[in-house]
Structure 1
Amino acid sequence: MAPEEIEKAVEAGMPQAVEDLKRLVAIPSVAFPGHPEVPVHEAAALTEELLRAAGLPHVERVAVEGSFPAVYGEAPAPPGAPTVLLYAHYDVQPAGDLALWKTAPFEPTQIDGALYGRGAADDKSGLITHVAALRAFQGRFPVGVKVIIEGQEEYAGERLEAFVEANPELVRADAIVVADCGNPRVGDPALTTSLRGMAAFTVEVRSLGESLHSGSFGGAAPDALAALMRMLTALHDDNGDIRVPGLNQGVFSGEGPSEEEFRATAGVLDGVSLVGSGSLADRLWASYAITVTGLDVPSVSGAINAVQAVARARVTIRIPPSGDTKTALDEVTGFLKQVAPWGVHVSFDDFTTGTGFRAEAGGPATAAIGRAMERAFGRAPREVGQGGSIPLVATLARRFPEAEILLYGAEDNDAAIHAPNERVDLAELRRVITAEALFLAEYAQTSA
């Protein structure tokens, strides 16, 4: 198909793509413990239906040990053509506080050219990108196609990693497309070339056999909560830079957001400064970050006048692609032990890790998606990083070092993924679908 024919086919298919996305968003496919499992299986069934309707001759649900099923589809490559693996996930984050939503999270609502609802962007837009791009070819694909749609990425996605390790030939491809990223702004195309890894742990501080009356013992009894607070604040200096030895700042070669853009996107309050030093691209995509994500202490509403015997915190480390997860964990936990005051007892447990990713120098697939995006968006894509982790990407990169991995999608920084009022811009979705369809045709010619 010529590029003009592909563009017309995508445009003609957009009403169906939007309706398909609405059907997906209406299913509360939250694959977290404690949530109903039936809707997750319903989303898997609809995913299977959509991939079949896109023209793939072989589609099936495949069991993933300890997880919800993945949906797999494939079409053989024409003689001499490369094979492309397309990835997305059909599960979503929980809705959270319903009072913060302007529309019901699982009642897809179209407003001013955007579709609102949980998962509309992350990552059911990625699934629809693949479905609609494939549908444009009416079953006559220019490349070999493999599709794997995960069912539990938002919670314990490492289970698909084990599946890939056990079934490498099922997903082996010349190029791998991960449609679980996005652009800095609507209409501003980008390829994600860097992902930070992550590590998380729980730290516990004990100072007393049991909590004590603050009037009788305060002033001499060591307070576990006060000790933990001192330890956690020691992780950063007054400027917000990390004080842990060995966690050095990195450099990102691409263009990052301006401070004005970042402040607006992050909702930083007037008069509040940003933290850290170096460019925003360096801080967000190429350097370490340490965040305290939870505390186990008495709540304000339930507080009593007591010196605390025990306090716990959840700590997350974001790790640049050049960093090592185990080393970072050792450095941070060792530092916390070193700065612990008063000889309090410190222990660590509940470790979680995920490896980062940095794209290799571009090959024919990277060149093809660049040309496809430039035609679809009217401007060439730029390289960006992502502070979040996609553990599967590191597994794919390690298992298939010869494959090019392309990360993009219809999300943008204002899409409110993982937050109330998540939305996807439908014009952006059309451009991304167009780019993917153009890429499949372009890549076939490049590799011929």
Structure 2
Amino acid sequence: MERTFALKGNVIYTPVCGQLELRSGSYLVCEEGVVAGIFDALPERYQDIPVEDFGEKLILPGLIDLHVHASQYAYRGLGMDMELLDWLEHNAFPEESHFADPDYARRAYEIFTEQLKYSATTRACIFATIHRPATLMLMEQLEQAGLPCFVGKVNMDRNSPDTLRETTEESLSETRRWLEESSDFHMVRPILTPRFTPSCTDELMDGLGVLQREFGVAMQSHLSENRSEIQWVSELCPDTHFYGESYSRFGLFGEGCPTVMAHCVWSEEEERRLMKNNGVFIAHCPQSNMNVSSGIAPVRTFLREGQRVGLGSDVAGGAHLSIFRAMTDAIQCSKLRWRLVDQGDSALTMAEALYLATKGGGAFFGKVGSFEPGYEFDAIVMDDAGLPTTRVCTLDERLERVVYLSDGRPFAKYAAGKRLF
């Protein structure tokens, strides 16, 4: 497959949070899977490379989903009148128990992978279930689809149904075996995934810390999503000062362990300080926070503090896989926070939301999420011809209409320098 080529069209990206770079009718060059640059005219050294001319279509960096549960895709849109802990008991746990059946897991993950492939998302951090064979099955499907994702076998050894709980020893041995078997993949990488502190004993967390240091893998979990959850953690871990310490004391909270924590709605100053110092990524999941009544995360505060922030769909807490939808939800939630909670917290702009959806979250994967030279070539081509209007729109206005009005399905999609469709 050709790894050096150019796309021609209207190129839009955010090199700095809040700053849109707009390049109309330009050439975006991919050289050996990496962005070489954006040019008004194709340089002489690239005169012989293939050029795909997309005319007036918009070319954006691929979107990043920092938090999604593949195993929950079947029931998105259900149980949206429950709070988090009740929702887990009634929806998440019964559904995830089905993934012990390989045939069910295969069919469910085929649906998820197909939907993810044809979405605007090029990379994602994904929760599977406790089941090692099913998790490997998901990784195989994503690899075949050409999607460079992180996928985690979930760990749970307490406070969960009998059908969805391993012993500590079983959880650690199955995780070790899964990590060893994951070395066969090239694009898809394993990520340690203790579901959250209430479902993981100290012994399990300690063992996962050992595995992290041995295999050098990343880590993902949930943090300070819901007030009831935070209270529960304080009861389970009375020697901690805040929720994040229940991970950090085992070496699972940034620093030498690349970490994504979903939500952080109620993270107080001391917890946020440790997150910033350790380089922990925050996956902001606005739709899920609304659906399960968690609250409104202080995203403006995160940005002001210099936190590392991206967006997550959090299917099925979030009902939509689209990160365009996550962008609009993030903007709207920030307006409510500004109006109702903290008048000093100004609302997000479209340029800031696009940054979170691309370069902000993409940084967890390395040099991903931008069209600056040296970045991995992830791109989506959006056709707004199906959004008719009498207005003559500027490029930034066309972007806004695509984010708010389109079905989120790209005309073409590239990940790590390869065209997926």
Q: Same fold (TM over 0.5)?
A: no
Larger RCO, structure (CA 8 Å, separation 6 or more)? 1
For normalisation by structure 2, the TM-score amounts to 0.28
For normalisation by structure 1, the TM-score amounts to 0.27
